[in-house]
Protein backbone atom coordinates (compact mmCIF):
# COMPACT_ATOMS: atom_id res chain seq x y z
CA UNK A 1 0.00 0.00 0.00
CA UNK A 2 1.21 3.54 -0.71
CA UNK A 3 0.07 7.01 0.23
CA UNK A 4 0.99 10.35 -1.29
CA UNK A 5 1.90 13.41 0.77
CA UNK A 6 4.01 16.57 0.53
CA UNK A 7 7.73 15.96 0.93
CA UNK A 8 9.20 16.51 4.41
CA UNK A 9 12.69 17.48 5.50
CA UNK A 10 13.28 13.94 6.78
CA UNK A 11 12.72 12.65 3.22
CA UNK A 12 15.70 14.57 1.81
CA UNK A 13 18.08 11.61 1.50
CA UNK A 14 15.52 9.33 -0.16
CA UNK A 15 14.26 12.14 -2.40
CA UNK A 16 17.86 12.77 -3.50
CA UNK A 17 18.27 9.08 -4.38
CA UNK A 18 15.09 9.13 -6.48
CA UNK A 19 16.11 12.40 -8.20
CA UNK A 20 19.51 10.88 -8.97
CA UNK A 21 17.80 7.89 -10.59
CA UNK A 22 15.73 10.22 -12.80
CA UNK A 23 18.46 12.78 -13.52
CA UNK A 24 21.84 11.03 -13.02
CA UNK A 25 23.72 13.94 -14.63
CA UNK A 26 22.40 16.51 -12.11
CA UNK A 27 25.35 17.31 -9.85
CA UNK A 28 23.46 20.07 -8.01
CA UNK A 29 20.53 17.94 -6.79
CA UNK A 30 21.65 18.04 -3.15
CA UNK A 31 21.94 21.83 -3.25
CA UNK A 32 18.52 22.13 -4.87
CA UNK A 33 16.95 19.99 -2.15
CA UNK A 34 18.65 22.04 0.58
CA UNK A 35 17.39 25.25 -1.07
CA UNK A 36 13.86 23.80 -1.28
CA UNK A 37 13.76 23.29 2.49
CA UNK A 38 15.66 26.49 3.39
CA UNK A 39 12.73 28.89 2.87
CA UNK A 40 9.54 26.84 2.90
CA UNK A 41 7.18 29.82 2.63
CA UNK A 42 8.98 31.55 -0.25
CA UNK A 43 9.09 29.16 -3.19
CA UNK A 44 7.35 31.27 -5.85
CA UNK A 45 9.65 31.51 -8.85
CA UNK A 46 11.89 28.70 -7.61
CA UNK A 47 11.76 25.23 -9.07
CA UNK A 48 10.14 23.17 -7.82
CA UNK A 49 7.43 25.01 -5.91
CA UNK A 50 6.02 21.82 -4.39
CA UNK A 51 7.00 18.18 -4.18
CA UNK A 52 4.81 15.17 -3.51
CA UNK A 53 6.18 11.79 -2.52
CA UNK A 54 4.71 8.31 -2.67
CA UNK A 55 5.42 6.43 0.54
CA UNK A 56 5.26 2.65 0.71
CA UNK A 57 3.83 1.47 4.01
CA UNK A 58 6.58 -1.13 4.35
CA UNK A 59 8.52 -1.33 7.58
CA UNK A 60 10.41 0.91 7.54
CA UNK A 61 8.39 3.21 5.27
CA UNK A 62 10.25 4.25 2.13
CA UNK A 63 9.75 6.62 -0.77
CA UNK A 64 8.88 4.89 -4.03
CA UNK A 65 8.25 7.96 -6.17
CA UNK A 66 8.00 11.73 -6.38
CA UNK A 67 6.44 14.50 -8.41
CA UNK A 68 7.95 18.01 -8.52
CA UNK A 69 5.59 20.77 -9.64
CA UNK A 70 5.60 24.48 -10.37
CA UNK A 71 3.55 27.13 -12.08
CA UNK A 72 4.75 28.54 -15.36
CA UNK A 73 3.56 31.63 -17.16
CA UNK A 74 3.42 29.62 -20.38
CA UNK A 75 3.52 26.02 -21.54
CA UNK A 76 3.35 24.74 -25.11
CA UNK A 77 -0.21 24.05 -26.24
CA UNK A 78 -1.83 25.82 -23.27
CA UNK A 79 -4.16 28.81 -23.51
CA UNK A 80 -4.23 30.00 -19.89
CA UNK A 81 -1.71 31.38 -17.43
CA UNK A 82 -0.37 30.36 -15.04
CA UNK A 83 -0.09 26.71 -16.01
CA UNK A 84 0.59 23.96 -13.48
CA UNK A 85 3.69 22.13 -14.67
CA UNK A 86 5.00 18.67 -13.84
CA UNK A 87 8.72 19.41 -13.62
CA UNK A 88 9.81 15.92 -12.63
CA UNK A 89 8.03 12.62 -12.07
CA UNK A 90 9.58 9.31 -11.08
CA UNK A 91 8.44 5.96 -9.71
CA UNK A 92 10.88 3.17 -8.81
CA UNK A 93 10.75 0.41 -11.45
CA UNK A 94 9.28 -2.26 -9.17
CA UNK A 95 6.27 0.00 -8.34
CA UNK A 96 5.42 1.10 -11.88
CA UNK A 97 2.05 0.21 -13.46
CA UNK A 98 0.49 -0.04 -9.98
CA UNK A 99 -1.15 3.41 -9.77
CA UNK A 100 1.72 5.16 -7.97
CA UNK A 101 2.43 7.55 -10.83
CA UNK A 102 -1.29 8.26 -11.24
CA UNK A 103 -1.59 9.10 -7.51
CA UNK A 104 1.42 11.43 -7.67
CA UNK A 105 0.11 13.26 -10.74
CA UNK A 106 -3.32 13.48 -9.11
CA UNK A 107 -1.80 15.23 -6.09
CA UNK A 108 0.14 17.55 -8.41
CA UNK A 109 -3.00 18.43 -10.36
CA UNK A 110 -4.94 19.13 -7.16
CA UNK A 111 -2.12 21.45 -6.01
CA UNK A 112 -2.25 23.37 -9.31
CA UNK A 113 -6.04 23.54 -9.28
CA UNK A 114 -6.01 24.93 -5.72
CA UNK A 115 -3.70 27.72 -6.92
CA UNK A 116 -6.08 28.72 -9.72
CA UNK A 117 -4.48 26.87 -12.64
CA UNK A 118 -6.93 25.70 -15.28
CA UNK A 119 -4.39 23.70 -17.29
CA UNK A 120 -1.63 21.28 -16.36
CA UNK A 121 1.35 20.50 -18.58
CA UNK A 122 4.50 18.42 -18.70
CA UNK A 123 7.27 17.47 -21.06
CA UNK A 124 9.53 14.53 -21.87
CA UNK A 125 12.48 13.93 -24.14
CA UNK A 126 11.37 13.06 -27.67
CA UNK A 127 12.93 9.59 -27.50
CA UNK A 128 11.37 8.70 -24.11
CA UNK A 129 8.46 6.57 -25.35
CA UNK A 130 7.78 5.08 -21.90
CA UNK A 131 7.17 8.56 -20.50
CA UNK A 132 4.99 9.49 -23.48
CA UNK A 133 2.84 6.37 -22.93
CA UNK A 134 2.54 7.13 -19.21
CA UNK A 135 1.50 10.73 -19.91
CA UNK A 136 -1.11 9.63 -22.46
CA UNK A 137 -2.47 7.02 -20.01
CA UNK A 138 -3.14 9.87 -17.56
CA UNK A 139 -5.03 11.98 -20.10
CA UNK A 140 -2.25 14.26 -21.33
CA UNK A 141 -2.42 15.20 -25.01
CA UNK A 142 0.82 15.50 -26.95
CA UNK A 143 0.85 19.01 -28.40
CA UNK A 144 4.34 19.58 -29.76
CA UNK A 145 7.77 18.02 -30.27
CA UNK A 146 10.65 20.49 -30.22
CA UNK A 147 14.40 20.45 -30.52
CA UNK A 148 16.38 22.62 -28.16
CA UNK A 149 19.70 24.21 -29.09
CA UNK A 150 22.45 25.93 -27.13
CA UNK A 151 25.57 27.86 -27.94
CA UNK A 152 28.38 29.05 -25.70
CA UNK A 153 29.04 32.76 -26.12
CA UNK A 154 32.71 33.51 -26.49
CA UNK A 155 33.96 36.37 -24.34
CA UNK A 156 30.93 36.37 -22.04
CA UNK A 157 31.70 37.26 -18.45
Beta bridge partners of 51: 68
DSSP code at position 121: E
Length of the chain: 157
Residue pair 21/95 in contact by the 8 Å Cβ criterion: no
Per-residue pLDDT tens digits for 58-89: 867 799 999 999 999 989 989 999 999 999 99
Residue among 17, 92, 87 at smallest CA distance from 56: 92
CA dihedral 3→63→20→101, nearest 10 degrees, is -30
What is the model's pLDDT at position 59? 64
Q: Would the pLDDT of 44 be above 70?
A: no
Sorted by where each starts, the structural domains of the chain and their CATH numbers stand as 2-137 (3.40.630.30)
Predicted TM-score (pTM) of this structure: 0.89
Angle at 124 between CA 93 and CA 48, to 5 degrees: 85
Per-residue pLDDT tens digits for 3-25: 999 999 999 999 999 999 999 99
Amino acid sequence: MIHVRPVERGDAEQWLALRSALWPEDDAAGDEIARFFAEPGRRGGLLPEAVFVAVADDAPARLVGFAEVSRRAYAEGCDTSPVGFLEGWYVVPERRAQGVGRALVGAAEAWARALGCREFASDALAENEASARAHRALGFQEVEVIRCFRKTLAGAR
